[in-house]
Amino acid sequence: MFFFISLLLLKYSKQGFLLEKQLQDFRTAGTHTLAAKVFLRNVIITCNGENIKSSIATQFNNYSIGFRMHALEPLIGNGIFASEGERWKASREMLRPQFSREQVSHVQTLEPHFKNFAREIRKLNGKEFNIQDYFHKITIDTSSEFLFGESTNTLTSASNDKFQFADAFNKVQDTLTEKFMLGPLHWVSNSKEFQGHIKEIHDAVKFYVDKALETQEEKLQERSQDNYIFLYELVKKTRDPKVLQDELLSILLAGRNTTAGLLSFLFLELSRNPRVWSKLKEDIYESFGQGSSDELEKITFESMKRCTYLKYCINEALRLYPPISRNVRVSKKNTTLPRGGGKYGDSAIFVPKGTIVMMHIYSNHRQKDVYGEDADEFNPERWENLKPGWAFMPFGSGPRICLGQQFALTEASYITIRILQTFPHITGNNPQYPPRKVSNATMRLMDGCIVTLK
């Protein structure tokens, strides 16, 4: 049947325990690297840090990103997230500087969206709800504002044009995931509905791109003075509307579900660990007060970085639940990985050209020889003295390392701080633990994250 799906062990995937199953397979086999042939394709699945480092960093040039390129093309064309070689290099060079400049200003633009979020939660009057849905809303609202200068505002409106953009964007991703999993058969999945949604999204983005291209430079300058708008900065680098569209959508695609995933898994753990919740609350109140309006300006990019317990909690959520829990590369020539061969698995193995190398970040982050016997437990304190090296890479590594790492950490930190300030009490109602997960592309909670906030 389908190519990738078989690799992903359909049954466990449907039940939401695929990642656990693969972790257990590594542990019971006492190995970190497994090689197999699936439909005549060589496949290597590895959670070894040296091997992962090799395929995404030190031997970068020997690998391609594989099917991702074709699967994502209908939405993001040649944008950074789906391109390789010279094209990718040009994208990366153009986008990288934009990400260092936004860091400071990003914080202020978050507050209005948090207020919308808090208003919706208050309306629930202490009833339980799925906070994962709200994290998906707030992250598309904040990223659309940052990217286009106008927010989807899914947290305020029930059915307007901008909400439809968000809806179409969600639906398109389901098909893109399907394409990704079909591998070389990606073209099979291409419904009329899908094409319609793609057109809707492209039209909406084109509207903002055209507007930016028509606006005089001084006007743009003015507008991005109080608010950093990615598009307005980018038109200084290129005036090609297709390039602008591809890059903006790449960033939206790369940044939205990943950040929502981090927050959802963090709050799942916080709702189960009253001790951690209290300690985090103390830490936050000590640094930033309890959220009165005159205290809000204390929450800056710099001051959040100094909030150590918050940092530990976020690291621990990223460790146990890396939003990109598996990543894939395909070898472009005969090469080797440094580990997995020999009697003890500590010598190199041969990687024939065309091998799919699946990097199991989820298992890499749970190695007992690095993290100890409690590797599967949520314990933020472990970060006090931890130097995990190649056993922690939620944002990847090497030349394609995540461009939005600071953006994501800033946003997740800010939202967490504001939630604990505004709602001091949390309870969770998520009986299944470890939680069932959907992890075809980015990882999310299959049953949501059910909490009450007061």
Ligand X SMILES: *[C@@H]1O[C@H](CO)[C@@H](O)[C@H](O)[C@H]1NC(C)=O
Residues found near ligand X in the complex (CB under 6 A): 13-14, 16, 59, 61-62, 136, 170, 173-174, 177-178, 181, 257, 333-335, 352-353, 438, 440-442
Q: Is the dihedral of CA 8, 12, 16, 18 positive or negative?
A: negative
Least Å distance, CB 66 to ligand X, is 16
Nearer to ligand HEM, 33 or 325 (CB): 325
> Strand 41-46 vs strand 33-38: parallel, antiparallel, or unpaired?
antiparallel
CB of 243 to ligand HEM, least distance (A): 14
DSSP result, 130-187: EHHHHHHHHHHHHHHHHHHSS---TTT-SSSHHHHHHHHHHHHHHHHHHHHHHGGGGG
Residue 435 interacts with ligand HEM (CB under 6 A): yes or no: no
Instruction: State the CB neighbour count (10 A cutoff) for residue 1.
Output: 6
3-state helix, strand, coil split of the chain in percent (to 5) is 60, 10, 25
364 binds ligand HEM (CB under 6 A): no
438 binds, among ligand X, ligand HEM, none (CB under 5 to 8 A by kind): ligand X
> How far is Cα 74 from Cα 450, in angstroms, rounded to an integer?
34
Q: How far is the CB of 37 from ligand X (least distance, A)?
A: 12
Which residue's structure tokens are 């900065």? Answer: 233
In angstroms, the CA 154 to CA 137 distance is 6
Q: Exactly one of 168, 299, 320, 402 binds ligand HEM (CB under 6 A); which one?
A: 402
Quote the least distance from Cβ 35 to ligand X, whole Å. Answer: 12
**395 lies in the site for ligand HEM, by CB under 6 A:** yes
3-state secondary structure of 348: strand
Please list the residues that pair with 337 across neighbouring strands.
349
Nearer to ligand X, 176 or 229 (CB): 176
Nearer to ligand HEM, 147 or 194 (CB): 147
Euclidean distance between the first and the last CA atom of the chain, given in angstroms as a whole number = 49
Q: 355 vs 421, which CB is nearer to ligand X?
A: 355
417 contact partners, CB below 8 Å, separation of at least 6: 284, 288, 299, 304, 307, 310
> Which does residue 284 touch among ligand X, ligand HEM, none (CB within 5 to 8 A, set by kind)?
none
Does residue number 307 form part of the binding site for ligand HEM (CB under 6 A)?
Answer: no
Annotated binding-site members: 402
Q: List residues near ligand HEM by CB under 6 A.
A: 56, 65, 80-81, 92, 250-251, 254-255, 258-259, 262, 323-324, 327, 394-396, 400, 402-404, 407-408
Annotated binding-site members for heme: 402
